Structure 1
Amino acid sequence: MAFQRHVWLASILALTASALVHAQAPTINLYTFDSSLENGQGADAGIQSDIGDKITKRVICAANKAGWHTNIKTVPPKRALYSLRNQLVDGYFAISASHELAPYAIRSEPIALEKWYLYSRLPDAKVDVYDMGTVAGSNEERWLERNGYRIKLRVSAEHQLLALLFKKRIDTAVFDEARMAYIVQTAPPAQRQPLYRQFLRFAPMYLYVSYGFAAQHPGFLKRFNHHLRGCGSDVYQLNDTKKTLVRTLAQTYLDDLMSTGIPQAALSQEPGVSSFTDILAADSTWHALAPEFASRQAVELLARPASRQLAEWQRQSRGVIREVFITDDAGTLVASSQLTSNFWMGNRDDFKEAARGESGEFFIDPIHFDSSSGYFVTFVTTPLRSPSTGRLLGLIAFAIDAETIMLPSGLQDDPGYSHAPSGAVP
């Protein structure tokens, strides 16, 4: 009986402690924008942590892991922006990069990646020629205005744009691919006819927190960003056509890089650590500080001639290559164009796979956000082997810009503005 009482008392104390911790967790008040709202209906409808939206779930997950509760409301975008500018709310998501908000708020790492297309009834429509419609206050509207495109009609909900397309009131509209699929699925039968689409850009979405909140809670955003990576992420698998393009790009840039002698010079240098234990210790410090700060090991590596030469070579790619680094046969960095997330890459699946590959083979990752470069990229890794013995000497990894991959040529200067038709969409 005494033992049972002790167990019962321990259980009560554990539950009480858990409840106290839960009750003491602070709350961050956030606004979000549902583009399906019409004329502000539902603007004050609170949505709590049981919301089914994928992006909202990810924000809640990262905030909870950072030690915060979330209080989220869906409001029209103009009200959300006004509230954030005037410090009336702690944060606002999901919003694309905003120069207008820079004086008032600071943004997180991307919480989602949207894939924007220009949709039209016309096979040869251009974003800067035909009559266009958009949702007032939306991310698409701000991007179109910022780039000087003429907008004929503004509506309050995305499904209205689809109706206007089929009524021939507008010729084109910009939609996120996933949102368009949902809108078509729920539209009347008359609005489910095929449309042409043209890829425009990848659009990262962010959480913006007010400077007032960030000043009061300086550690929040760093913890939030850290936990985002464990709360799911947006990745895009490349189809065979795009993988062929990536291999062609990678081969072109690999041939050019090898002709400079930079990889050969980098591999002739020692990593700067003498044992595997030292490698793991250096990697732990490196990873804990990056990408905000550079460890002593990182500063020394980035100062090497091969690293400086890689940085200059990357700049000459004009945005196609967002990052490039070289490791030895154990996966330890010997040169890098910029600060990476890790010093030792030997435990990464792509490096393990590439290390088993033959010379000339390319191992291609899905498109994802890379925190060290700050871009959505696909990593391409290839082994470097001795021509005479076949022994693995090291590996080279390129981070190729995601929007470049979506272009027909893959080599245009401004990958955010592609107008080549990619076919009809049912």
Structure 2
Amino acid sequence: MDAAPTMNLRLALGLTTVLASPLCQAQPPFLNLYTFESPPYQMVGSDTGGESQISGETADTVICAANRAGWSTRIRITPQNRAIHSLERNMIDGYFAIDPSAELDTIATRSDPVALEKWYFFTRDDKAFTKDLRIGVVAGSNEEAWLSAKGYGIFLSVSSPSQLLALLKRGRIDTALMDERVMDRLRQAKELAGTQLRAHFVRYAPLYLYLGETFTSDNPEFLGIFNRTLNSCMAGQLALSQEEDRRISELSSRLFKEMNSILDVRQIIDEGPRQESFTDVMTIDSQWTALSPLAVPDLAADILALPGSKALQAWQHSHQGLVTEVMLVNDMGTLSAMSQLTSDYWQGDEPKFQKVMENRATQPGGDPPIYLSPIRYDKSAARFQVTASRPVLNDHGEPALGVIVIGLSIEEALSDSEQY
């Protein structure tokens, strides 16, 4: 063989090896996770290539956020005790979707919520809920762990939601603690036929991914990226239901009327700071967001000291637990008054301002429209909340002076029982 062709062949083979190597390295690493079966959140899907695929809302959220952080996932269904045992010994990278656990908090690192469940005590007919009722729950579930931690007496633990509902229908238990979506699936499967239930709201339950110590030590950047992408991966899952929207709207309307009866919100807006140009607004907003919440910007301190802000603080305190924040925003979209420090100064790019300013039409003699935000998780307060916003109108049909925004704890707002 000629030396030249031989050399060219060797060169070609060498280049192929060099080029192929980065391609192999570019394959994303695998995140090995355990979870438990809980339709519609985590469930075994159809087999692909001999492996069962785990799907469902929560599984899809975790897969989405992990992928955006540069990782593929291997998810398996396993009993809780085995999952915790495996996580303790770093045999897996993580375990989801579970309630906060004092045990796991000592051996693993918790993400931001990867799911939001709505828990209700379900009773037959119009039976009121009291703590002395015979409570049924699914064994090994987050609900069972929560009941035990809160000191509730559990009458029966069973293997499945269907079995739990059957016991409730036959009167073997007085009430069942269950997620709303799980009960919806039973209803759609006609397992509720002929049975009238009353739903007593208990809590919004945030569920988490716990990552093992070895994984977080070896991949310190993962969790920050994972958490930042969760909101977009959960898009659509935190919307208010039609019934929740109605109830929160009615509550918000009463609160707005009460506030307007005791506070002059127009005067508060007029007395607040106002910038000369949009360029000034953006400069201040950049400085504000860079400092908040670790430090209070100078302008923020000035706004918090205003009489209008003090009045908002006092009004919020009169609804402690229900009202989480109050702010008045002028027509430029900047803060005129606030009950507490906000994360940014300019609110003009947010739906709670834009939706209200775009839709200010009212019926003659009617109230201005209310915009309700989707549910969002407040990490600092460890609670879920919504914001209700409404325009601050002039008397003479002129453009709105601005927007008033009230933050509401969703659990407090939906604490009453409802027919199911």
Q: Secondary structure at the match of 2:401?
A: strand
**CA distance in 2 between partners of 1:216 and 1:241 (Å):** 48
**CA distance in 1 between partners of 2:81 and 2:262 (Å):** 48
Kindly provide the amino acid, as one letter, of the partner of residue 385 in structure 2: V
The answer for the alignment partner of 1:193 in structure 2 is 194
**CA distance in 2 between partners of 1:206 and 1:392 (Å):** 42
Bigger radius of gyration among the two: 2
1:364 aligns with 2:371: yes
Q: Deviation of residue 57 (structure 1)?
A: 0.5
Which of residues 379, 383, 387 in structure 1 aligns to 2:387?
Answer: 379
CA, structure 1 residues 165+229, in 2 after alignment: closer, same or farther (shift >3 Å)?
Answer: same
**CA distance in 1 between partners of 2:177 and 2:343 (Å):** 35
1:246 aligns with 2:254: no
Aligned 8 A contact 1:237 1:367 in 2 = no
**CA distance in 2 between partners of 1:145 and 1:66 (Å):** 36
Deviations 1:79-122 (A, max 9, x none): 22333445443322212233443333343332222122222335
Kindly provide the amino acid, as one letter, of the partner of residue 148 in structure 2: E
**CA distance in 2 between partners of 1:165 and 1:101 (Å):** 33
Kindly provide the amino acid, as one letter, of the partner of residue 369 in structure 1: R
The answer for the alignment partner of 1:395 in structure 2 is 403
CA, structure 1 residues 227+295, in 2 after alignment: closer, same or farther (shift >3 Å)?
Answer: farther
The answer for the alignment partner of 2:4 in structure 1 is none
CA, structure 1 residues 113+285, in 2 after alignment: closer, same or farther (shift >3 Å)?
Answer: farther
**CA distance in 2 between partners of 1:127 and 1:338 (Å):** 37
Q: Which segment is superposed worse, 249-258 or 177-186?
A: 249-258
The answer for the alignment partner of 1:94 in structure 2 is 97
Q: Which segment is superposed worse, 363-372 or 397-406?
A: 363-372
Q: Deviation of residue 286 (structure 1)?
A: 5.1
The answer for the alignment partner of 1:329 in structure 2 is 331
Q: Deviation of residue 319 (structure 1)?
A: 0.9
Q: Which segment is superposed worse, 237-246 or 399-408?
A: 237-246
**CA distance in 2 between partners of 1:150 and 1:363 (Å):** 42
Count of matched residue positions in the alignment of Structure 1 and Structure 2: 387
Aligned 8 A contact 2:304 2:340 in 1 = no
Kindly provide the amino acid, as one letter, of the partner of residue 238 in structure 2: D
Q: Secondary structure at the match of 1:376?
A: strand
**CA distance in 2 between partners of 1:224 and 1:394 (Å):** 36
Q: Deviation of residue 280 (structure 1)?
A: 3.0
Of all paired residues, the percent bearing the same amino acid is 35
Q: Which segment is superposed worse, 56-65 or 359-368?
A: 359-368
Q: Secondary structure at the match of 1:392?
A: coil
The answer for the alignment partner of 2:61 in structure 1 is 58
CA, structure 1 residues 52+102, in 2 after alignment: closer, same or farther (shift >3 Å)?
Answer: closer
The answer for the alignment partner of 1:156 in structure 2 is 159
**CA distance in 1 between partners of 2:161 and 2:270 (Å):** 54
Segments ≥4 residues shifted beyond 6 Å: 15-18, 45-49, 288-291
**CA distance in 1 between partners of 2:290 and 2:50 (Å):** 35
The answer for the alignment partner of 1:9 in structure 2 is none
> Structure 1: which 5+ runs fail to align?
1-11, 409-419
Q: Give the alignment of 1:3-402 within 5 angstroms.
A: 19-20=23-24, 22-23=26-27, 25-35=28-38, 51-186=54-189, 192-200=193-201, 201-231=203-233, 232=235, 233-239=237-243, 241-255=246-260, 258=263, 264-265=267-268, 267-270=270-273, 275-284=277-286, 293=294, 296=297, 300=301, 304-305=305-306, 307=309, 310-311=312-313, 313-356=315-358, 357=360, 361-371=368-378, 374-387=382-395, 390-402=398-410
**CA distance in 1 between partners of 2:30 and 2:248 (Å):** 44
CA, structure 1 residues 255+140, in 2 after alignment: closer, same or farther (shift >3 Å)?
Answer: same
**CA distance in 1 between partners of 2:394 and 2:210 (Å):** 49
Aligned 8 A contact 1:32 1:75 in 2 = yes
CA, structure 1 residues 281+150, in 2 after alignment: closer, same or farther (shift >3 Å)?
Answer: same
Root-mean-square deviation (CA, aligned residues, Å) is 3.8
Deviations 1:278-329 (A, max 9, x none): 43344456557766x4584786467544556644543442211112222221
Q: Deviation of residue 221 (structure 1)?
A: 2.5
Q: Secondary structure at the match of 1:230?
A: helix
**CA distance in 1 between partners of 2:125 and 2:49 (Å):** 40
**Taking structure 2 as the reference length, what is the TM-score of the superposition?**
0.77
Aligned 8 A contact 1:368 1:377 in 2 = yes
**CA distance in 2 between partners of 1:206 and 1:155 (Å):** 24
Aligned 8 A contact 2:107 2:213 in 1 = yes
CA, structure 1 residues 227+241, in 2 after alignment: closer, same or farther (shift >3 Å)?
Answer: closer
Q: Secondary structure at the match of 1:152?
A: strand
CA, structure 1 residues 389+178, in 2 after alignment: closer, same or farther (shift >3 Å)?
Answer: closer
